[in-house]
Amino acid sequence: MAQSSLIPHPSSLLFISVFAILLLASCGRDKSQSNYGGAVAIGHAGRQPGQFTKPRALAITAAGEIAVIDRSGRVQFFEAESGEFIRQWRLAEYSNGTPTGMSVDPVNDSLWIADTHYSRILNYNKEGELLFSFGVNGEGPGQMIFPTDAVPDPDGHTLWVTEYGRANRIMRFTREGVFEKEWGSPVYESDELLRPMALSVSPDGKSLYVVDAGNHRIVVYDREGNVLRRFGHLGKDWGAMKYPLDMAMAADGSVFVLEYETARISHHSPDGKFLGSWGEPGKKLGQLFLPWGIAVGPGGEMVIADTNNQRLQLLRNPVRFFRGEAPGGVASAVAESVASLFDSAGSTQ
């Protein structure tokens, strides 16, 4: 009897609980404004340190620094943990256009930059000192016109370069710039490979994942250039992609593919199985506007060059925000906002 008077009336109870949920939701919404999709933004448009004019190529160093090149030719560094600006320096030349690809050398934590519009590969240390550069403009073996990515192999001496001048090709150099091998298909003649835009080496070093942007797919080669498999096709469904421009390899060998036109990151297992997707077109956090670059850091954090939104987006724990269902459902939105609530509670800045 005493207990029944405690719980006064079912309708009142319902009313109060709805009210409490509203209250909670409004708090949650407020937080998710700055933390939508689990992402935080770094920088905005401008020419000052920490600001961007269309950031494009990026990489995360072993020390947890995000390096990013924007159209002003600056290489800026940010703390991946806090998103704080650290330092910046400028490329020697950038008026023709800025690089599209940059990777970190696991050996000495230096940066390998594919200087796309100057037909060369640059190797800088983090302080902006040019250690080494090579590249001859041309169509012959070992020459290049538009290099798109330069990836140091974990073996410590190989350097992989993708290029699309007169031939869409993948080239193998030593870190000293000595040409070893190449394969690919000539431009205007074959559609086998159309614009290889990025390359990643699997953790075991045995396979190369190449972004075949024009064919909307990923091609996996062995180290000699034999095709092991292909995955992805043109489309907007899960598992399909539209103009992938960059990719990042997670420590477990799964790949994150950045899609330019569909403005999302899709996650695939090493054998090409679709695991999930993040992002949609737009200007809010968690949305992307014609993005160009992606990198995954040693701590599993992911950073995206949200190029036309003039910022980077950083996900500290990316996979939990990836979805495998059709977007737009109420359930997924609720799940997402609840997840973001917990995430913001967990990581107090």
Using CB under 8 A, list all residues that contact other proteins: 2-3, 5-6, 8-9, 12, 15-16, 19, 23, 26, 46-50, 96-97, 117, 137, 145-146, 164-165, 187-191, 194-195, 213-214, 236, 242-243, 245, 260-263, 280-282, 290, 308
Nearer to other proteins, 157 or 233 (CB): 233
Side chain identity, residue 257: V
Residue among 81 and 261 whose Cβ is closer to other proteins: 261
What residues does 220 pair with on adjacent strands? 209, 229
Q: By C-beta, is 54 or 268 nearer to other proteins?
A: 54
How many residues would you count in the chain?
A: 349
Q: Which CB sits closer to other proteins, 152 or 244?
A: 244
Between the CA of residue 121 and those of 34, 95, 204, 206, 250, what are the distances in Å? 38, 16, 25, 23, 24
| Least spacing, CB of residue 118 vs other proteins, in Å | 8
Q: How far is the CB of 245 from other proteins (least distance, A)?
A: 7
What are residue 304's phi and psi, to 5 degrees? -125, 135
Q: What phi and psi values does residue 225 have, to the nearest 5 degrees? A: 95, 10
Phi first, then psi: what are they for 258, rounded to 5°? -95, 120
Asked if 219 contacts 213 with a C-beta cutoff of 8 angstroms, the reply is no
Nearer to other proteins, 38 or 196 (CB): 196
User: In the structure encoding, which two tokens stand for residue 313, read together?
Assistant: 């987006």
**How far is Cα 76 from Cα 90, in angstroms, rounded to an integer?**
8
Residue type, 182: E
Rounded least distance, CB 348 to other proteins, Å? 24
Residue 124 phi, psi (nearest 5): -110, 150
| Shortest Å distance, C-beta 62 to other proteins | 28
* Complex with other proteins: residue 158 or 168, whichever CB lies closer: 168
Q: Residue 208: phi, psi to the nearest 5? A: -115, 130
State which residue, 176 or 189, has the beta carbon closest to other proteins: 189
* Minimum CB–partner distance for residue 73 and other proteins (Å): 13
- The whole-angstrom distance between residue 19's C-alpha and the CA centroid of its chain comes to 41
Work out how close the CB of 9 gets to other proteins at its nearest, in angstroms, rounded to a whole number. Answer: 6
Q: Cβ distance 225 to 181 under 8 Å?
A: yes
CB of 252 to other proteins, least distance (A): 29
Q: CA 81, 82, 84: angle at the middle one, nearest 5?
A: 125
